[in-house]
Amino acid sequence: MEIKILTFGQITDITDKSEFKLVGVNTTEELNAKLAELFPELPSIKYSVAVNKKIVRENTKLNNEDEVALLPPFSGG
C-alpha cells in the first residue's frame, strides 16, 4: 500500500520535501510514528493531518493511494 504525503510551511522545511510517498502505513497513528522516525524534529511542532482533504482528529484507516496532507498551524492576518 502506498500513500502520497503533501507538506506545507515549516513541515516542508523539516522534511525538505513538499511531496513524497510512503508505503507500509495503515493508519494515521502508524503514519505519525513513521514520520517521527524519519524526521525526528517533526514531533516538536503541532500539525493537523488531512486525509483526502478532510482533517482527521482520531486514528484513521488509510487506503492505497490516499492523499495525506500535513498542515502546520495557521495564523490569521
Confidence of residue 34 (pLDDT cuts 50, 70, 90): very high
**13 in helix, strand or coil?**
helix
* CATH code given to domain 2-71: 3.10.20.30
Q: What are the grid coordinates assigned to 72, written together?
A: 502546520
Distance CA 11, CA 42 (A): 7
Convert the pLDDT of each residue in 40-50 to its tens digit: 999 999 999 99
Please tell me the pTM assigned to this model: 0.91
Q: What is the mean pLDDT of residues 25-44?
A: 96
**What's the CA gap between 72 and 10, in Å, rounded?**
7
